[in-house]
């Protein structure tokens, strides 16, 4: 479900997937940058950014917040702390408007 914006995502899954997608994006930037394959990079980087965005939305659903709060991650400095908040904030134990735990 890397492109799904529905459902909930636990803290550990969020953290592991975010690290994995970030590493893959970093590898693409390092390997493809400056070569004739940079058109491929222009296609793949947005795909991985959408996948990261869906992670934020599903993690926010787990703590009972709307996915629109994921735009807060784009604010410099604040976004870093908000990302850490999403990693450490426990999800709701009971079912919420976004699904069962």
pLDDT of residue 30: 75
Q: Is 80 buried (19+), middle (13-18) or exposed (0-12) by CB count in 10 A?
A: exposed
Selected residue with higher pLDDT from 33 and 54: 54
Domain spans, the chain? 11-88
When pLDDT is cut at 50, 70 and 90, the band that residue 16 belongs to is: very high
Q: Does pLDDT of 33 surpass 70?
A: no
Q: Does pLDDT of 86 surpass 80?
A: yes
Q: Does pLDDT of 70 surpass 80?
A: yes
pLDDT of residue 99: 79
Residue 52 has which token pair?
Answer: 């990261």
What DSSP assignment string belongs to 52-94? HHHHHHHHHHHTT--GGGGGGGGSTTHHHHHHHHHHHSPPPSS
In angstroms, the CA 46 to CA 21 distance is 12
């Amino acid at each position: 479900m890397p492109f799904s914006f529905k459902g909930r995502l636990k803290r550990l899954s969020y953290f592991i997937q975010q690290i994995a997608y970030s590493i893959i994006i970093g590898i693409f930037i390092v390997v493809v940058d400056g070569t004739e394959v940079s058109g491929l990079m222009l296609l793949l980087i947005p795909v991985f950014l959408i996948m990261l965005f869906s992670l934020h939305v599903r993690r926010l659903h787990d703590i009972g917040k709307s996915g629109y709060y994921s735009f807060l991650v784009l604010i410099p400095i604040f976004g870093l702390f908000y990302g850490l908040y999403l990693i450490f904030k426990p999800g709701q134990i009971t079912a919420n408007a976004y699904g069962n735990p």
